[in-house]
Amino acid sequence: MSTPKMIAASTASQLLAGIPQQKAGEVKVPVNVRGQQVTVSCPRTWCTDPHTQVYYSLEDVSHRSDRIFMAVPTYNGPTEPALIAYISSWPFAGDRATAVPHMVLEAVGDDDCVGVTGEQATALADQLRVHADNMTRMAAIVSGGLA
Ligand SMILES: [Zn+2]
């Protein structure tokens, strides 16, 4: 019986350098690419896509979170979703900007969306807080209060 050898962590890192590493919070999930089962890493800390659809190619595999939105009232009654946002990544599409998690923003639910970085999303959230404060002041005025 041989005793296992201890190796330094730096040596282990060098030995593992050529092997793709799974990031924290990611799990391996099977996806169906035109009938072939392929296993990909899925960031389950935010991805809610069940990955049960049949993909045409590996490039079509994307991760996405649930959508959040503001329900805005309309003249005719039902509310319309606005400022729809979700997290997405397209790890195999060959575009470095969309390969990493980014926020997708759709202003009024018309599929005209834009991907924004974390810094841009933070700036937009700051603008929304200012906008909400201004809306609160307007609400006070129309409610008979002073702004
Ligand atoms: Zn996923």
Query: What is the residue-wise DSSP string for 58-100?
Result: GGG--EE---EEEEE--TTSS-EEEEEEEEEE-TTSS-HHHHS
The CB-side HSE value for 111 (13 A sphere, CA atoms) comes to 0
Cα 117 to ligand 1 centre (Å): 19
- Kindly report the pTM of this predicted structure: 0.74
Distance 80 CA to ligand 1 centre (A): 27
* C-alpha Rg value of the chain to the nearest Å: 23
Å from CA of 69 to ligand 1 middle: 21
**Residue 2: is its pLDDT beyond 80?**
no
Q: Which of 93, 88, 79 has the alpha carbon at shortest distance from 106? A: 88
pLDDT tens by residue, 55-107: 999 999 999 999 999 999 888 888 899 999 999 999 999 999 999 999 999 99
Distance 140 CA to ligand 1 centre (A): 44
Region 16-28: mean pLDDT is 71
Query: 43 with 22: CB under 8 angstroms?
Result: no
114 CA from centroid of ligand 1 (Å): 20
